Amino acid sequence: MGNTLREMAERIEDATMLDAERGEAIIAALRAAAPEIDPQGTLTPDRLLSADAVIDLVDRVLPGWAISMDGTASRSHGHWTCTLRMSGVRDNDAYLGVGHGPRLPLVLLAALLRATAARPAD
């Protein structure tokens, strides 16, 4: 499952859009790896294009984790970096989720996919 999530992260980082088919595949993979991500089963692909919605997903899967975002807001030439780590206080925490790309919601999603792939199984 971890490799699938990492492969999905790589495919969406350079994307500027997310088609419904790929969105459904990402949602299915996230539900399998982290059932708490969508307890009511209401997550849809169009929600993955909202930075606020993806931040909510991060909170469900990785509550209390630090989210760091840096980038240039530009519809045609944006460049974002997002990191997810267990703590924003210590400098030596491992970055378990990192995403890069032109669209902030997809960069956040890529970081979430990588962090979910790296988290230990319960």
pLDDT tens readout for residues 14-73: 888 899 999 999 999 999 988 888 888 889 999 999 999 999 999 999 999 999 999 987
CB 114 within 8 A of CB 98: yes
pTM of the model: 0.89
Tokens read off for 44: 């849809």
Give dist(CA 95, CA 44) in Å, integer: 28
What number of other Cβ atoms are within 10 A of residue 45's Cβ? 16
In the predicted model, is pLDDT for residue 13 greater than 70? yes
Contacts of 82 by beta carbon, 8 Å cutoff, 6+ apart: 67, 68, 69, 70, 97, 98, 99, 100, 104, 107, 108, 110, 111
Domain limits, the chain = 2-118
pLDDT of residue 87: 72
Amino acid in the structure at residue 115: A
Q: Which of 72, 69, 66, 121 is nearest to 95 (CA)?
A: 66
pLDDT tens readout for residues 67-111: 999 998 777 677 999 999 987 666 666 668 999 999 999 999 999
pLDDT of residue 3: 81
